[in-house]
């Protein structure tokens, strides 16, 4: 799944989605690649082109895994 900025259409990330539902969050471990450097796990994901706020990082306690919670309306998705 390709995740793009809704504002300027810049590619944000290539994400390995397991179901066909709407994208609400991106698990860090399933982000195949990203145009944003995620190596230091930034707390907020911004579009590298227009600085639109795309997602906010959170730790899911139950699974002790990290995910980016998507900001509604800030992104578009497309299945490849």
Rounded CA gap, 51 and 7, in Å? 10
Give the nearest distance from C-beta 75 to Zn ion in angstroms.
Answer: 9
- Residue number with CB closer to Zn ion (50 or 58): 50
Question: Binding of Zn ion at residue 35 (CB under 5 A)?
Answer: no
Return the residue of 7, 30, 46, 57 that touches Zn ion, per CB under 5 A: 7
Site string for Zn ion, 41-80 (x = CB under 5 A): ------x-xx-x----------------------------
Give the nearest distance from C-beta 30 to Zn ion in angstroms.
Answer: 22
DSSP letter at 1 equals -
Q: Are 9 and 54 a contacting pair, CB within 8 Å? A: no
Sites of contact with Zn ion (CB under 5 A): 5, 7-8, 10, 47, 49-50, 52
């Amino acid at each position: 799944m390709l995740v793009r900025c809704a504002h300027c259409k810049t590619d944000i990330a290539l994400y390995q989605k397991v179901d066909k539902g709407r994208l609400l969050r991106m698990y860090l471990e399933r982000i195949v690649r990203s145009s944003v450097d995620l190596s230091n796990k930034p707390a907020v994901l911004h579009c590298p082109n227009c600085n639109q706020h795309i997602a906010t990082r959170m730790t899911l306690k139950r699974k002790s895994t990290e995910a980016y919670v998507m900001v509604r309306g800030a992104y578009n998705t497309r299945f490849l």
